[in-house]
Amino acid sequence: AQTVTQSQPEMSVQEAETVTLSCTYDTSESDYYLFWYKQPPSRQMILVIRQEAYKQQNATENRFSVNFQKAAKSFSLKISDSQLGDAAMYFCAPLAGSQGGSEKLVFGKGMKLTVNP
C-alpha cells in the first residue's frame, strides 16, 4: 500500500523568498508519476507540477521545481520568489501505474503555506 508523509503541517515564508515543502512516500511500484497540488481558499485543486519517476531530471515549472530522490522516495517542492498568491494548502500525491494501470491517487495530509508581505 502507498503511504505519503508531509511532515510539516504548516510553514511560512516571506514574500520574494524561497521555501521548500517536503514529501516522502512509500510504494512498491517502480514506474509512477508524482504530483504536487495547490488548494487556495477557493478550495479548487490546482496542479502545480508533476514528475515522472523514470526521469532523472527534476521537473521545473516557472518558479516551482522539485527535488526528486527516487531511492530515498523523497519528492520535495521548491517555490522561488514566493508571492502572496502562493498562500494555500499544498498536497503531495504520488500515483502508481504510469501506464494507466492504476488510478489510485494517495494524497499526503497537506501543508498550509503562509506568505508574509
* Binder among 28, 71, 103, 117 for another protein (CB under 8 A): 103
**Is residue 44 near another protein by the rule CB under 8 A?**
yes
**Is residue 28 near another protein by the rule CB under 8 A?**
no
Element (H, E) at 26: strand 24-26
CA 39 to chain centre: 12
CA 89, 33, 85: angle at the middle one, nearest 5?
25
Which triple of cell numbers denotes residue 101? 494501470
**Is residue 11 near another protein by the rule CB under 8 A?**
no
* Binder among 52, 64, 70, 78 for another protein (CB under 8 A): 52
**Is residue 20 near another protein by the rule CB under 8 A?**
no
17 or 97: CB nearest another protein: 97
Residue 42 · residue 48 · CB < 8 Å: no
